[in-house]
């Protein structure tokens, strides 16, 4: 743990989810692999689509609609719509195809392994402080077993623009009825989490479980207040 500023007393915490409370990278890799297999089985004409094709459709979706840049679920639905249109599935049939595919996405997206350290740490913190989850993703906290720790869950899209926008941070201050300066936000991303939190007046804990220090991070826009390497180090602040 490294301190870059002295912290004020912490009266509440907000948490990023993906790659902070659990390792999300293998989840997404498995999702994309298994979803492609399911799509090809359900819609054989999609076999012609390579990974490059899917990436191009994602770029097209992100460029076509600002909502796609702030809502990962809507972005995937839009990407799928483009793919189905290209193989001649349109209208009501397309809407049903998107709905069926998104059901598979939900199942695959929430196959998350939560470390025991995450559970034990959150259990100890929530006994002392209120917690809010703030995510740019679309994981379902109830499905992955984390719902009970958080008073509220804010998701980019339905609850405001994606981090580092201050939308969800400012909403969290109202939900917590706590001054921003008394809230510690915890997250792994130096832009989405640290920059966003500091812009909203929060204190920021950067979760870094890699061997690379902040000095080597090209994404650093503003320094966090503290760097932690294990989630259980947050117990220091309660």
Q: Mind listing the domains of the chain with CATH numbers?
A: 2-22+114-237 (3.40.50.1000), 26-109 (1.20.120)
What span, in angstroms and rounded, lies between the C-alpha atoms of 194 and 179?
Answer: 17
Q: Tell me the pTM.
A: 0.93
> Strand locations in the chain, DSSP E?
2-3, 12-15, 131-135, 152-155, 183-187, 203-207, 226-228
Q: Which whole-number Å values give the CA distances from 101 to 46, 185, 193, 196, 233, in the listed order?
A: 13, 34, 30, 32, 40
Is 16 catalytic? The answer is: yes
What span, in angstroms and rounded, lies between the C-alpha atoms of 61 and 54?
Answer: 11
Q: Which pLDDT does position 221 carry in this prediction?
A: 84
What span, in angstroms and rounded, lies between the C-alpha atoms of 185 and 198?
Answer: 9
Pair of tokens at residue 91: 């209208």
Q: Which pLDDT does position 73 carry in this prediction?
A: 97
- For 86-152, give the DSSP string: HTT--HHHHHHHHHHHHHHHHHHHT--PPPHHHHHHHHHHHTTS-EEEEESS---HHHHT-GGG-SE
Eight-class DSSP state of 203: E
Mean pLDDT per segment of 10 residues, for the chain of length 238 residues?
Answer: 96 99 97 97 95 95 93 97 97 98 98 98 98 98 97 97 98 98 98 98 97 83 96 97
Query: What are the residues whose beta carbons fall under 8 Å from the beta carbon of 85, sequence distance 6 or more?
Result: 94
Instruction: Please tell me which residue in 8, 16, 161, 225 is annotated as part of the active site.
Output: 16
């Amino acid at each position: 743990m490294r301190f870059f500023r002295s912290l004020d007393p912490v009266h509440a915490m907000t948490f990023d989810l993906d790659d902070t409370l659990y390792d999300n990278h293998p989840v997404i890799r498995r999702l994309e692999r298994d979803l492609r297999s399911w799509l090809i089985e359900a819609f054989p004409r999609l076999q012609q689509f390579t990974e490059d094709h899917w990436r191009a459709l994602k770029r097209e979706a992100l460029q076509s609609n600002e909502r796609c840049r702030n809502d990962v679920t809507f972005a995937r639905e839009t990407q799928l719509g483009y793919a189905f249109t290209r193989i001649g599935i349109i209208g009501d049939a397309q809407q049903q195809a998107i709905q069926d595919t998104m059901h598979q996405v939900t199942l695959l997206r929430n196959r998350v392994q939560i470390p025991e350290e995450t559970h034990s740490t959150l259990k100890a913190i929530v006994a002392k402080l209120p917690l809010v989850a703030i995510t740019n993703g679309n994981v379902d906290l109830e499905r992955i077993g984390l719902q009970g720790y958080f008073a509220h869950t804010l998701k980019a899209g339905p609850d405001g623009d994606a981090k580092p926008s201050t939308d969800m941070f400012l909403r969290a201050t109202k939900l917590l009825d706590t001054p921003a300066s008394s809230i510690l936000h915890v997250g792994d991303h130096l832009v989405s989490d640290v920059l966003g939190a500091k812009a909203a007046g929060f204190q920021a804990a950067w979760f870094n479980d890699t061997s690379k220090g902040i000095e080597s991070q090209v994404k650093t826009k503003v320094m966090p207040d503290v760097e932690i390497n294990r989630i259980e180090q947050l117990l220091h602040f309660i």
